[in-house]
Structure 1
Amino acid sequence: MIIPEYGRTLTPEEWRPVVDEMLEATHIIFTTHENSDGDGLGSQVALALALKALGKEVAIFNPTEVPPNYLFLKELHEINLFRDRDEESMQEFFLADLLVVLDANLHDRIGRLWPHVEFARQMSRLKVLCIDHHLEPEDFADITVCETYASSTGELVCDLVTALELRTGQQLFTPEVASALYAAIMTDTGSFRFPKTTPYTYRLAGMLVEKGADPELVYDRIYNALTPEALKLLGLSLSNIKIIENGLISWLFITQEMLEQTGSKLFDTDLIIRYLLSVPTVKVAVLLVEMQDGRCKVSFRSRGKIYVNQLAKHYGGGGHMNAAGCLLRMSAEKAQLVILEDVRKFTLEQVDS
Structure 2
Amino acid sequence: MPDGMGCSVNKPKPVTDARALVDSSTRILLTSHRKPDGDALGCMAALDAALRRQGKDVQLLLLSPIPSWYAFLFDRLPPILGEGMTVDQLTAGGYDLVVIVDTNSRNQLKDLAGWLDKAHVPVLVIDHHATSDHLGRVEITDTTAAAAGVLVHELIQSAGWSVTPDMATALFVAVATDTGWFRFSNTDVRVLRIAAQLIDAGADPAAVYARLYQNFTSERFALMTTMLDHMSLHFDGRYAAQYLTAEDFRRTGAAYSDTEDLISECQRIGSVQVAAIFVEQQDGRIRCSLRSNGAVNVRGIAEQFGGGGHTNAAGTFLPAPVDHAMSLIQDQIASRLPDVP
TM-score norm. by structure 2 comes to 0.93
Q: State the Cα distance separating 1:91 from its structure 2 match.
A: 4.1
Distance 2:335 2:199 in 1: 45
Distance 2:156 2:222 in 1: 41
Q: Show CA shifts across 1:273-303 (max 9, x none).
A: 0012111111110100011101110000001
Distance 2:11 2:92 in 1: 31
Query: Any conservation in 2 of the 1:31–1:110 contact (CA below 8 Å)?
Result: no
Distance 2:254 2:135 in 1: 35
What does residue 143 of structure 2 align with? 148
Query: Any conservation in 2 of the 1:131–1:146 contact (CA below 8 Å)?
Result: yes
Query: Any conservation in 2 of the 1:29–1:93 contact (CA below 8 Å)?
Result: no
Task: Decide which moves more: 253-262 or 56-65.
Answer: 253-262
Matches within 5 A, 1:305-316: 305-316=295-306
What does residue 68 of structure 2 align with? 68
Q: State the Cα distance separating 1:200 from its structure 2 match.
A: 1.8
What does residue 117 of structure 2 align with? 118
Distance 1:246 1:79 in 2: 45
SS of aligned partner of 1:59: strand
Q: 1:15 to 1:86 in 2, by over 3 A?
A: closer
Task: Report the RMSD for the aligned CA atoms in angstroms.
Answer: 2.0
Q: Show CA shifts across 1:249-277 (max 9, x none).
A: 00111111111111111111123100121
Q: State the Cα distance separating 1:183 from its structure 2 match.
A: 0.5
The structure 1 residue matched to 2:158, chosen from 155, 163, 179, is: 163
Query: How many pairs are equivalent?
Result: 337
Q: 1:50 to 1:89 in 2, by over 3 A?
A: farther
* 1:346 and 2:341 matched: no
What does residue 168 of structure 1 align with? none
What does residue 250 of structure 2 align with? 260
SS of aligned partner of 1:34: coil
What does residue 183 of structure 1 align with? 173
Q: State the Cα distance separating 1:111 from its structure 2 match.
A: 1.4
What does residue 82 of structure 1 align with? 81
The structure 2 residue matched to 1:293, chosen from 266, 283, 297, is: 283
What does residue 23 of structure 2 align with? 23
Q: Show CA shifts across 1:81-134 (max 9, x none).
A: 12279459724664101111100121121112222222222xxxx111111001
Q: State the Cα distance separating 1:148 from its structure 2 match.
A: 0.2
Task: Decide which moves more: 325-334 or 146-155.
Answer: 325-334
**Aligned amino acid, residue 109 of structure 1:** Q
What does residue 97 of structure 1 align with? 96
**Aligned amino acid, residue 250 of structure 2:** E
Distance 1:138 1:293 in 2: 25
Q: 1:88 to 1:322 in 2, by over 3 A?
A: closer
**Aligned amino acid, residue 229 of structure 1:** E
Q: State the Cα distance separating 1:248 from its structure 2 match.
A: 1.1
**Aligned amino acid, residue 205 of structure 2:** P
Unpaired segments ≥5 residues, structure 2: none
Unpaired segments ≥5 residues, structure 1: 166-170
